[in-house]
Amino acid sequence: MENPFTTRPEIKGTFGVVTSTHWIASAVGMSILERGGNAFDAAVATGFVLQIVEPHLNGPGGEVPILFWKQGEDEPQVLCGQGVAPAAATIEHFEGLGLRLVPGTGLLPAVVPGSFDAWMLLLRDHGTLDLETVLEPAIFYAREGFPLVRRAVQAIHAVEEFFPTEWPTSAQVWLPGGRRPTPDALFRTPAIGDTYRRICDEAKAAGGDRVAQIEAARHAFYRGFVAEAIDGFYRENALMDTSGRKHAGLLTGDDMAGWQASYERPVSYDYAGARVYKTGPWGQGPVFLQMLALLKGYDIAAMDPLGDDYVHLITECTKLAMADRDVFYGDPDFVEVPLDVLLSDEYNAERRRLIGREASLDIRPGALPGAEAGLAALLERAGCETPIGPGMGEPTFVDLPEVEGDTVHFDIIDRWGNVVCATPSGGWLQSSPVVPELGFPLSTRAQMFWLDRRLSSALAPGKRPRTTLSPTMVGRDGKPWLALGTPGGDQQDQWSSTVLLRHLHHRFNLQAAIDAPLFNTRHGPASFYPRARAPGELLIESRFPQQTLERLAARGHRLKIEGPWALGRVCAAGISGGMLHAGATPRFMQGYAIGR
């Protein structure tokens, strides 16, 4: 199919490409490549800068799943930077507080911040540059200032009255001089810059080579002054959260010291001549693979990529895969997740029979052990609490249409063929109070645990929450072909899969596939507090043909027509035809792809 008009060109080159959800981060990543660094060096620098320039969507106290493919290897690897629940975080503790869900904000839902260790391992094991070189851009922007994007200002607006009274340490950072910042004005977060500067200084003082200094930095964060500051703040304070009450935190320095990022093999699935790689079921990534297993039974290439058959089919496959996610997924170190069955041709052929011409309004997990009890738990718990106060769940913004986007994303390919695909998140400015000695808040990812033992994603000490963070990597003939991802919580694999299908089956280039109108369902329970669901609801951009919208409504989809450029922030980069390619979403006017 001929590529339609695009908002910007698909970037092409041979030296390197960087695409991310913020233009400054893309520029920094490219600058590292220009200085002789590889994709891993550039990824670390890009990841730290995104913490500064998109503070409403990720931060130093957050987490990150990373997929990376090293030149010459047969498949990518996963680097898990998802921290775990504290040792004191038990279901009994939360039940003793009278809670039926883990709050969406505050101190209680904190997990060990995982992104720092993941970036350090990536730099230590696969990078070439020293710690200070890759941290210096983030330190510069934190100290000297960066243009605060409008959506970050709106996030601060939402908590403008809440911070001074309930989280005064956050007010000191995000309401300087007691005033809300203005869009696009220069904004500084010098305490974060000072924290990273101190880590660099301590690392250099420890002496030794670049590896020794990186190890010293890891120690400073997880056993040194960073961990000490977090331990003290969480022990000494009880602060307001979405329950409408003040609660003390559970995270301790011992929790920090006892955790580290880890390498894993990815989960993968063969589809249409490509092999798609995702993280394990501690994230929602295998949902993407099961969607492909379901779609394998249809001629997607023959469908109109803007037609109702296409939207309906993908939506119904999503509902089935998400139902299995909600009932069966969890940290495989704690529970047995039947991925072999969930991704098998036989299982999905049976599941495919449930897809009809009408939209389903039911949650239908597969008939596997535990499904009935798990479904009962979902229906009992989803939306069972009413949140109190601002900042709940994934970031939302006042004075704007509701936005599905709770994180950032980037993809990088260097001239040697190394590829890095990452979706950093957590530690949002509105999610939890700032630790004053450090200048940043921590992840509230524990809100994704259920307080019900019937579910595989039930809370347990030392367990990873079943996150929505879901980078995607695709290979062909044992070599990397494509990396892509997007912010957006439960919508991440919905938007990314649509972009892949249009690129793979309809021959849209990366930018055209990203620019084409998007859609997603909110049918099942949300992964974010208060875990509400909207049966049959289908969000869809208004650029779809009117006939498509009318036919979808006639099929029983409960349409929520969004603005023409309202859904998704997909970025993608690939290798084909002897060249590197990249695209970035124009939505929200922040993402950018750079390359040559």
Q: How far is CA 376 from the centre of its chain?
A: 28
DSSP state of 593: E
Q: Name the CA dihedral angle for 167, 172, 178, 179, rounded to a multiple of 10 degrees.
A: -100
Residue ranges of alpha helices (H) inside 529-585 are: 546-554
Those residues whose C-beta lies under 8 Å from the C-beta of residue 206, and which sit 6 or more positions away, are 212, 213, 216
Which pLDDT tens digit goes with each residue over 13-48? 999 999 999 999 999 999 999 999 999 999 999 999
Residue 412, strand partner residues: 18, 420
State the Cα angle at 571 between 551 and 182, rounded to 5°. Answer: 100
Under the phi-then-psi rule, with left for phi > 0, alpha for psi from -120 to 50, and beta for the rest, what region is 591?
Answer: beta
Mean pLDDT of 230-236: 98
| Rg for the chain, CA atoms, rounded | 22
Which pLDDT tens digit goes with each residue over 319-362? 999 999 999 999 999 999 999 999 999 999 999 999 999 999 99
Q: Is the pLDDT of residue 399 over 90?
A: no
Q: Is the pLDDT of residue 443 over 90?
A: yes
pLDDT above 90: percentage of residues in the chain: 95
User: How many residues can be counted in the chain?
Assistant: 596
Give φ, ψ of 132 to 5 degrees: -60, -40
- Gap between the Cα atoms of 374 and 224, Å rounded: 41
Which pLDDT tens digit goes with each residue over 298-310? 999 999 999 999 9
Q: Going by DSSP bridges, is the β-strand pair 64-69/77-81 parallel, antiparallel, or unpaired?
A: antiparallel
Q: What is the largest CA-CA distance in the chain?
A: 69
DSSP 356-381: -SSPP-S----SSTTHHHHHHHHHHH
CA distances (Å), origin 139, targets 134, 144, 201, 408, 530? 10, 8, 12, 19, 35
Those residues whose C-beta lies under 8 Å from the C-beta of residue 93, and which sit 6 or more positions away, are 250
Mean pLDDT of 206-221: 97
Residue 573, strand partner residues: 483, 582
Q: Which amino acid is at 250?
A: L
- Gap between the Cα atoms of 491 and 496, Å rounded: 9
- Gap between the Cα atoms of 204 and 223, Å rounded: 17
pLDDT of residue 505: 97
pLDDT of residue 392: 53
- Gap between the Cα atoms of 122 and 44, Å rounded: 8
H-helix or E-strand spanning residue 501? helix 492-505
Question: The whole model's pTM is what?
Answer: 0.96
Q: CB of 472 within 8 A of CB of 287?
A: no
pLDDT of residue 210: 96
pLDDT of residue 83: 98
DSSP state of 301: G
When pLDDT is cut at 50, 70 and 90, the band that residue 391 belongs to is: low
- Gap between the Cα atoms of 461 and 111, Å rounded: 10
When pLDDT is cut at 50, 70 and 90, the band that residue 398 belongs to is: very low
Residue 584, strand partner residues: 571
Which pLDDT tens digit goes with each residue over 98-118? 999 999 999 999 999 999 999
- Gap between the Cα atoms of 441 and 140, Å rounded: 20
Give φ, ψ of 103 to 5 degrees: -55, 155
- Gap between the Cα atoms of 24 and 22, Å rounded: 6
Q: What is residue 587's three-state secondary structure?
A: helix
Q: Which amino acid is at 295?
A: L
Burial class of residue 17 in the structure, from the number of CB atoms within 10 Å of its CB (0-12 exposed, 13-18 middle, 19+ buried): buried
Mean pLDDT of 438-462: 98
CA distances (Å), origin 245, targets 231, 248, 304, 443, 449? 21, 10, 51, 19, 20
pLDDT of residue 537: 98
Q: What is residue 413's three-state secondary structure?
A: strand
Q: How far is CA 173 from the centre of its chain?
A: 24
